[in-house]
Each structure stands twice: as structure tokens, then as C-alpha cells.
Structure 1
Amino acid sequence: MSVSFEADARLRIDKWLWCARFFKTRSLAAEAVDRGKVQVNGQACKNSREVKPGDTVVLEAHQQRWEVVVKGIAGLRGPAAVAQTLYAETEASEARRRQDAENRRLNVEPASQLQGRPTKRDRRQIDGVRG
């Protein structure tokens, strides 16, 4: 696997996000870009936008907001250890993600514990609360 740290190396943003392992598949990365969850150098972008080392990428993935600086370009998706060398997360982004994780741990969303349809017993309790 070849990783390029040269300033003239370029790669499509959707492929770079996939290679850097922010998304499990390239189609998920492309969908995030289409939905406006990814910005390059402060501007919304399309899948065809090429990134190069030195660009700043802001993305929302898996209930987290990342702000990273592109350090390298990989032609293929490789191991996680190699993927982590493709970017450097900013200090502010790391602190914000840690704080958000702590908030999610302390303030559990009540709906996150619900799974599937209510049972007959659950339905009776819901009806009892409603009156």
C-alpha cells in the first residue's frame, strides 16, 4: 500500500474518507458528503472534490464531529494503523469529542433503550400514563 505525503497528491473526498476509515464503505462516505456532513477548507463540497495534504476537513460521523488536517493520501484502503497516519485531529476537535462522549455517558437518551415494538405490558403502561 502506498501512502503519499506530497503536496501535489490528490484524491476524491469520498474515497479519502473511506481510506482514512471514517466510514465503513465508500457509498456511506459519498452519502455523508451528499447530505452536507462534510466540509473541506470551510466550504461544503461534492464527492468529486479532491483533497490534498494540508486541507482541513470537518465531518460529522457516528454522532461525532471531527476536524482533521489531511496529512497524506492513500490509493487503497489499508490497515487502521496506516489510516491514522493520513490525518491529524486538531486539539479543539479532540477536546470537543471527549466532552461530547462524557455528556452522552452521563445523559443517556431515554429512547436509545427502546428496541422494537412495545409489548402488551408496555402498551398497558403507556395507556395508563396517558389516562
Structure 2
Amino acid sequence: MRVDKWLWYARVTKSRSLAQKLAAGGHVRINKDKISSASKTIKTGDVLTIALERRILVLKVVALGSRRGPYEEAKKLYEDLSPPPPPKAEAPPPPPGQREPGSGRPTKRDRRKMDAFRQEDER
């Protein structure tokens, strides 16, 4: 089976054309060999290394599949050998007068605290 078709069947990519671009762009390796075309054939037992934007997938082909089915069916096509993501380091608390990133808009109480902190700096 073609590698682009299998990537689409296994739900690694959303469309077959994206799978073709991924394979042609050199982001897919079959058994550690970099491929340059989407028409390379794969068979059961091959190990695919796929470089996506934010992670690297290492998938062992268990079955080839016959259609792009639901996620539960697609999971049966491969065995995930990817390394676990590195643990996230805890960010230190923000200095006084600053809020944590992503915490949304400040409340009225928060604004009063920030204003009081700024007035202390001006004195």
C-alpha cells in the first residue's frame, strides 16, 4: 500500500493530499530510510518515523487497512512506539504586580491590587 494512503487511513493526517505533502516533503521515514515520494509502498512490520510540527511519531505498521474508518478502527492499523513527551517544567510564579499568562482579564480586585502596587513604586 502507498504510504500516503496508509497515513490517511491511520488518521495521521486529515486529508490524503496533506499525507502526500508530508511524504514528498521528506518528513516521513520508512525503516530509517528517508523517502521523497508519496508512492513508496509499505508493508506490515515497517516502522514509520513521522516528523509533525510539534512532535515526532514512531509507528509500527500492524495492518494495512481497506478504508478510512473511525478512530477506533484506525488505531488497530499501528502500534505507537513514540517516546513519551518530556515533562513540562513548572514555571516560577510571576513577580508581584504581574499576572500569570493566560489567566484572562483581571478582575476589579486584581486591578486595584495592580494600581496599589504601581503607586508604591512611584513613591
TM-score by length of 2: 0.68
Aligned to 1:87: 78
List aligned pairs for 1:7-18, cutoff 5 A.
11-18=1-8
Q: Which residue is equivalent to 2:45?
A: 54
**Alignment partners' CA distance in 2, 1:13 and 1:79:** 19
Q: CA deviation at 1:89?
A: 1.1
8 Å CA contact retained: 1:22, 1:61: no
Normalized per residue, the structure richer in helix is 1
- Of 14, 20, 26, the match for 1:24: 14
Distance (Å, rounded) in 2 between the aligned partners of 1:35 and 1:47: 9
**In 2, Cα distance between equivalents of 1:74 and 1:64:** 24
Q: Which runs of 5+ in 2 are unaligned?
A: 92-101, 103-123
Between the two structures, name the one with larger relative contact order (CA 8 Å, sep ≥ 6). 1
| Residue 102 (structure 1) aligned to one of 64, 88, 92 | 88
CA RMSD of aligned residues (A): 1.9
- Alignment partner for residue 61 of structure 2, among 50, 57, 70? 70
Greater strand percent: which structure?
A: 1
SS at structure 2 position matched to 1:102 = coil
Task: Give structure 1 stretches of 5+ with no counterpart.
Answer: 1-10, 107-112, 114-131
The one-letter code matched in structure 2 to 1:28 is L
AA aligned opposite 2:88? E
Percent identical across equivalent pairs? 31
**Secondary structure at 1:24 match in 2:** coil
Equivalent position SS for 2:19: helix
